[in-house]
Amino acid sequence: MATDRLSVIFSALADPTRRAILARLADGDATVTELAEPFDISLPAISRHLKVLEQAGLITRSRTAQWRSSSLNPEPLREATAWMERYRRHWDASFDRLDAHLRRIQAQAPQTTNDPQ
């Protein structure tokens, strides 16, 4: 069923290997072999993790000769965070004040109003 965007993003983040890959990519682009190096799993497995991350929009990939470089695309993290932000007032007492403050400096989008997922 996981057909909606947020489900795809959260599913992608649910795997520790994939999160570790994202962490690695935060330090710079890397090829599949480079990304596989720290792990005990096979190259095809890494390849499929990358496919999952790509489909979630969390990485983009480019090809140079026979190497496929992956780079981090954190935009979906922003989406996921945006969803969670709706609950921030429940955990952070001073959220409202801070939020208002942030919006003032940032002049962000007019606030996500009411999409239930």
Tell me which residues touch its own copies (CB under 8 A): 1-2, 4, 6-7, 10-11, 13-16, 19-20, 22-23, 26, 72, 74-75, 77-78, 80-81, 83-88, 90-92, 94, 98, 101-102, 105-106, 116-117
52 binds DNA (CB under 7 A): yes
Closest approach of its own copies to the CB of residue 11, in Å: 4
End-to-end C-alpha distance for the chain, whole angstroms:
14
Strands (E) located in 1-117: 30-31, 59-64, 67-72
117 binds, among DNA, its own copies, none (CB under 5 to 8 A by kind): its own copies
48 binds DNA (CB under 7 A): yes
Distances (CA, A) of 78 to 6, 32, 36: 11, 25, 26
23 binds DNA (CB under 7 A): no
- What 3-state DSSP class applies to 61? strand
